[in-house]
Chains A and B, each alone.
Chain A
Amino acid sequence: MPPDDLIVTSGLGHRYGAGTEQEVTALEGVDLRIAQGEFVAVIGPNGSGKSTLARHLNALLLPTEGRVTVNGLDTRDPDHHWSIRQTVGMVFQNPDNQIVATVVEEDVAFGPENLAVPPEEIRRRVDEALALVRMQDYARHAPHLLSGGQKQRVAIAGALAMRPACLVLDEATAMLDPRGRREVLQTVRRLNRDEGLTVVLITHFMEEAALADRVVVLDRGHLVMDGRPEEVFSEVDFLEGIGLGVPQIVGVRRLLEEAGHPIPPSVLTLEAMVDFLCP
C-alpha cells in the first residue's frame, strides 16, 4: 500500500440488522482510497449510504463485509479504535447535539482530555484550535448562544484539538443558513490548503461539492462515480436520474452548450464561468 493513502476501504459492505427480517443493505462493495491532503466531496441522495460510509471512516461503524484501514490500521481491531478516532475527526449535522460542555473552550478540550493529554498541552491545543477556526474571542462563551456556523466551527476546533490527519464532515452544513455554510466551508478549505488537512465533505449541496478536488457519488449503497468535479458534473442526466442535481452554474452551462456554445468542462463555478464568458 502506498504510504500516502490515509484511508482505504476495500469491498466495504454494511448491513443493518443483519440476519433479521428488517435487514437493510446500506453499503455494498465500496472501494475507495483517500490520500493524505485530499479534499473529497461525497454526494448522494438521502438513503444512499453517505452517513454510513462516513461512520466507517473512524470506526463508529464496523464493516459487515470487506474492510477499512486508516493509516494502515484495520478498523475491525478494537485496539485501534482510539488511535483511528484521533486520526479521523468528525463533525456531525446537528450543531446542538455534539457540543458537550457549557463553555466553548471546555468543549474543545474534551477530546484531548479523553486522550489524557497533560493540562498545559491541552491549553496550548485549545488555543491553537480555536485560532485555526477564528473563534478565539469566544473561548469563554456559552455554546448555546452562538450561531449555527459558529457552533460548527467550535465542533471543528474540538476535532482539531485531537490533532487529526483527516476531518470528516457528515452533512455538517445541512442545518445552517447561507452565512453559516460559508463560514464552515471557508474554514475547511483553508485548513485543507494551509494545514494539509485531509477533508471528506459529505453534502447534498452541489455547489459545495464543486469546490472539492474530487467528487464521489453514492447511490443505494454503491459507489457509482468517482472523479474530478468537472468529470462528475458533466453527467447531468445521470445525476438527475438518481435524484441529485448539478450546481446552477453547470445547469446554465449545459443550456448554453445545447444552444451551440461549447464551454470547457472545467467551468463549474461562478468565477470560472464569468472568466470564460467575459475574460
Chain B
Amino acid sequence: MSIETVDLTHVYMPGTERAVVAVDRVSLRIDDGETVGIMGPTGSGKSTLIQHFNGLLRPTSGRVLIDGEDLWPREKDGPRTADLHKVRRKVGLIFQFPEHQLFEESVYDDIAFGPRNLGLPEEEVRRRVTVALRMVGVPEDEAEALGRRSPFSLSGGQMRRVAIAGVLAMRPATLVLDEPTAGLDPRGRLELLETLSRLHRRWGLTLVVVSHNMEDLAALVDRVIILDQGRLILDGPTREVFRDPESLRRLGLDAPPVVALMHALAARGAQVDVSRLSPREAAEEIDQWIRAGRPRRAGSGREGDAGLVHV
C-alpha cells in the first residue's frame, strides 16, 4: 500500500493568537515495502505528520491519500468513519513508550483488544494473537504462558513488545513507529531493532520510523526524510542524507559516531570514503586507508575539525 501527502498543512488552534503551524505544506510518498526514517529536532512536526498517516488528525489543508484514496474528500461532511477505521487497520501507528497504553488483565486480552474491536470470531482472535507474538519474537511454546501473565508484571522491553504485538494483531500493511527504542538498554535496543528489521524482511511490512537516533535509522531504513519547523527539507537514501553531518548538527541532530568519525578524518584531509554507516564498514575503510599509507589531501590541516561532534 502507499501513503501520499500533498501540500499537507496542519495548524493547531487555527484562527487564535496561539495558532501553531506544526506541519507546513509537506508532500511525500511512501510506497509499499519501503523502509523510511523521519528525523527532525523536537517540535519539527514529526509526530503531527505521522498522525495523518492513519487519519487520527485531519489536515488543515492539503490531502492525504492512502492507496490513492483521499482520506478527507472535500465535501463538507468528510468520509464515513468506516473508511477511517479501515485505514487505521492498514496503517498501524505505535506511539512513543507504547507500553503505557496497556490496560488489560492479561497479555492475551491486551493483544486481542484490536481484533475483538474488529468483531472477529474468538478462534481468529486467538490465531492473530499467537501470530502477533511470533512476529515480535515470542516462540509459540512460550506464547501460551506469556499470554496468561499480567502485562504490568513484564520488564520494560517485554511490555513494549506486547504493545507492538497489539498493533500487529490488526494485520497492518504499514507500521509507523515513534521513537521505538527510547529508554531501552543496549541489549533491549538491539533486540528490538532486530525484531523490526525482521518485520520488514520476513513479514513484508512497510516501516516508517520516527527517531532521533541515527544509529537506529542507519541500521533500519533505506530512506530518510528530515523535517524542520514543519517543513520537509531533505528526502533521500540514508547514505546520502548522512553524508553531511555538519548540516544535520545545525538541526540539533547527531550523526552516528561512526559517520562523524569518517567526516572528521576527511576534514583533516584523510582520503577516505565518508559514506560508511556501521563500525564494520568504517573499520574496513580505515584499514584500507592505513594500508595505502594514510594518503591525505594536500593543503589540509586541522582547521577542518568542524565536523567533530562534541558531547
Contacts and interface: CB of A to CB of B under 8 A. Distances in A.
Contact of B261 (A180, A206, A249): A249
B182 interface: yes
Given A46-B188, A148-B42, A270-B260, A277 B270 contact: yes
Given A178-B253, A243-B186, A270-B309, A252 B264 contact: no
Contact of B185 (A45, A211, A259, A278): A45
Contacts of A256: 283, 286-287, 290
A278 B265 contact: yes
Interface string B258-281: 101100110011100000000110
A244 B186 contact: yes
Contacts of A148: 42
A177 interface: yes
Interface in A11-26: none
Contact of A277 (B190, B260, B286): B286
Nearest to B253: A178
B41 interface: yes
B187 A270 contact: no
A204 B42 contact: no
A278 B266 CA distance: 9
Interface string A169-187: 0000011011110100110
A255 interface: yes
A147 B190 CA distance: 27
B17 to A, nearest CB: 16
B215 interface: yes
Contacts of B280: 255
B257 A270 contact: yes
A261 B311 CA distance: 27
Nearest to B214: A178
B185 A46 contact: yes
**Residue in B286, B287, B310, B311 whose Cβ sees the most chain A Cβ within 10 Å:** B311
Interface residues of B, number: 45
A241 to B, nearest CB: 11
Contacts of B185: 45-46, 204, 243-244
A207 B311 contact: yes
B304 to A, nearest CB: 10
Contacts of A259: 283, 287
A278 B283 contact: no
A244 B187 CA distance: 6
B286 A252 contact: yes
B109 interface: no
B42 A252 contact: no
B252 A278 contact: no
Contact of B308 (A178, A248, A270): A270
Contact of A179 (B155, B186, B252): B252
A211 B290 CA distance: 27
Nearest to A271: B308
Contacts, number: 106
B172 interface: no
Contacts of A277: 265, 270, 286, 290, 294
A255 B265 CA distance: 17
A206 B190 CA distance: 14
B183 interface: yes
A55 B182 CA distance: 23
Contacts of A196: none
A116 interface: no
A1 interface: no
A247 B190 CA distance: 14
A255 B261 CA distance: 14
Interface in A126-175: 147-148, 174-175
B254 interface: yes
Contact of A47 (B155, B186, B190, B258): B155
A175 B279 CA distance: 25
Given A148-B42, A243-B187, A256-B287, A182 B258 contact: no
A207 B255 CA distance: 13
Interface in A177-206: 177-180, 182, 185-186, 204, 206
Contacts of B52: none
Given A46-B157, A147-B42, A247-B257, A185 B308 contact: no
B228 to A, nearest CB: 13
Contact of B42 (A174, A179, A185, A248): A179
Given A255-B279, A261-B290, A45 B261 contact: no
B212 interface: yes
Interface string A207-228: 1100100000000000000000
Interface string B229-272: 00000000000000000000000111011101100110011100
Given A207-B257, A273-B261, A261 B287 contact: yes
Contact of B257 (A175, A182, A249): A249
13 contacts: A147-B42, A178-B254, A182-B254, A243-B186, A244-B185, A245-B190, A248-B215, A248-B256, A248-B257, A251-B279, A256-B290, A278-B268, A278-B269
Please list the 7 inter-chain residue pairs (A to B) with the smallest Cβ-Cβ separation, ordered nearest first: A255-B283, A243-B187, A251-B279, A248-B257, A179-B252, A278-B268, A245-B186
Given A248-B257, A252-B279, 7 more contacts: A45-B186, A147-B42, A177-B42, A244-B187, A248-B215, A255-B279, A274-B261
